[in-house]
Amino acid sequence: MELFHFKRDIPFMKYGKLTTFISLLTFVMAVFFLFTKGLNFSVEFTGGTVMEVQYSKPAEINKVRQDLNVLNLGEVQVQALGSNRHVMIRLPNKEGTTSATLSNQVMNILKKDDPQVSLRQVEFIGPQVGDELVQNGLIALSLVIIGIIMYLSVRFEWRFAVSAIIANMHDVIIILGCFAFFQWEFSLTVLAGILAVLGYSVNESVVVFDRIRENFRKGSMRNKSVPEIIDNAITATMGRTAITHGSTEAMVLAMLIFGGSALHGFSLALTIGIVFGIYSSVLVASPLLVMFGLSRENIAKPQKAKEEAVV
């Protein structure tokens, strides 16, 4: 099934150097923001107090956030648990204030609107737990990257593996750079979104790489240059890309708009990742194949003519 069909191949590789330069520029900017501004880690990483409260009537989540701003704690997370009667509140650490004191201050503020609000559970997350989460997150990210490299090296060839992993890391750094620049909160759900983007992006790269490999083995492509073969492969997959990525992006945008605060970080990371995943698979990974010297001999090695038996 194709949404549209191109009669001529789009000359993507003609602009390969330009798109690679743009990618390098955005990559450097993202790294710059990561080092200068840093990530705005959530309570799971930095430690803090997690409270679960129950209201007698549905609570207004936005009003609860505004009421708690008087504590001057910085980023306070408030989200509904199933219904607006049960609310979870995540509070960052406050120097010189214990978790018990902080929870009492919160309850005093909440009871001004609803005297019947009750505290169901309070939990303190220490900084050491946050350090463990950072380490485990980096380990998970590293294992995913190693697995992708091994998979692509076995299925294709080292040039494909290196190109794909550079493109995927480009996506990850861009997402992290956006979160650093806008100081969006970086939580465990955002980390889950980044890991999902890695798998999603490599899937798009594999589809394009498969078509490139098929083109090298086609007799009709024998007189075509490497850039022309890659252009044909990318153009042939554009219809599939529009359908799959368009439908996925529509679903992710629905989560971003209507999913509430619980899904906001996850859907935001996916929204950015899907867009840059398409861009990197087409305009980063493919030009890198040309730069790394991909040729017909690397994929479709010429078969040696069998010597005829002497009678």
The vertex-190 CA angle with 184 and 196, nearest 5°, equals 140
Domain co-membership, 101 together with 134: no
Please give the tally of structural domains in the chain. Answer: 2
pLDDT reading at 10 higher than 70: yes
106 and 68 Cβ atoms separated by less than 8 Å: yes
221 and 113 fall within a common domain: no
CATH number at residue 233: 1.20.1640.10
**pLDDT tens per residue across span 85-100:** 888 888 887 777 777 8
How much is the average pLDDT of 163-181?
A: 90
Q: What is the pLDDT of residues 23-51, one digit of tens each?
A: 899 999 999 999 999 888 877 777 788 88
Residue 306 lies in a domain: no
pLDDT value, residue 101: 84
113, 242: one domain = no
Containing structural domain, residue 221: 12-40+130-298
61, 87 contact by CB (below 8 A): yes
At which of 91, 125, 159 does a domain end? 125
**Which one of 61, 96, 125 terminates a domain?**
125
pTM of the model: 0.78
| Pick from 240, 250, 238, 239: nearest CA to 274 | 250
As a whole number, mean pLDDT of residues 51-64 equals: 87
The pLDDT of 4-19, averaged and rounded, is 82
Is 140 part of a structural domain of the chain? Answer: yes
Q: Residue 105: which CATH number? A: 3.30.70.3220
Q: What is the pLDDT of residue 253?
A: 93
The pLDDT score that the predictor gives to residue 127 is 65
Cα distances from 123 to residues 84, 91, 205, 266, 307, in angstroms, run 20, 10, 43, 24, 78
* Predicted confidence (pLDDT) at residue 140 exceeds the cutoff of 50: yes
Q: Is the pLDDT of residue 172 over 80?
A: yes
In a domain, 309, yes or no: no
Q: Identify the band that residue 5 occupies on the pLDDT scale cut at 50, 70 and 90.
A: low
Domain boundary among 125, 152, 181: 125
Whether residues 182 and 159 fall in one domain = yes
pLDDT 10s digits, 225-282: 889 999 999 988 888 888 888 888 999 999 998 887 778 889 999 999 999 888 888 8
